[in-house]
Amino acid sequence: MTDARLPERWLTDRRLLLLTDAEHRFYITALLWCVANRTDGEFGAEDIRLMPGIDPGQASRLAAGCAKRGLLAGNGGQWVITGFAATQSSRDELDQLDRIRAAERDKKRRYRLSTGQSTGQSTGQSTGTALGQARQARQDRLASNEGAAADVDARELPPW
């Protein structure tokens, strides 16, 4: 899973504050789409059709508004989000993180196999026997206490 970052300084960034609502929505959607698809901030007219909630007929106008504020560079066919590398992880960085995570998972799997710790189940999973054993033990206690309860009932209880 890839996370996009929206820096807190954007709350007071004049370039973003001067965008119309539609331009702002276009810019943020394009940013999120580029992060999710690992394009390093580049997208084209054909990509805009894939962005949720963006009307391709309005995209050129919206992109031009973002470009006017210095948030996008390019022309009607191909766009680049300026400053993308300063706020987001690049495709190479994300690919490296994926390789590191896969290597760590493999290392942990090999360790568990070598120490005999692997039961084929993830942590937190149960074979189901513990609950059944606890339930049976409780039922046994209740059954054995029925006789004791009858003895208590037969005795006289204090008046309070």
* Domain locations in the chain as residue ranges: 8-87
Q: Which residue, chain included where needed, has tokens 């206490």?
A: 145
Classify 70 in phi/psi space as left (phi over 0), alpha (psi -120 to 50) or beta. left
44 - beta bridge partners?
A: 78
Give the pLDDT score at 24.
Answer: 95
- What's the pTM? 0.62
Mean pLDDT by 10 residues, the chain (160 residues): 83 94 95 91 90 90 93 84 85 80 87 76 62 71 68 62
Give the pLDDT score at 1.
Answer: 61
Give the pLDDT score at 70.
Answer: 94
8-87 sits in which CATH class?
mainly alpha
CB 88 within 8 A of CB 35: yes
Give the pLDDT score at 121.
Answer: 60
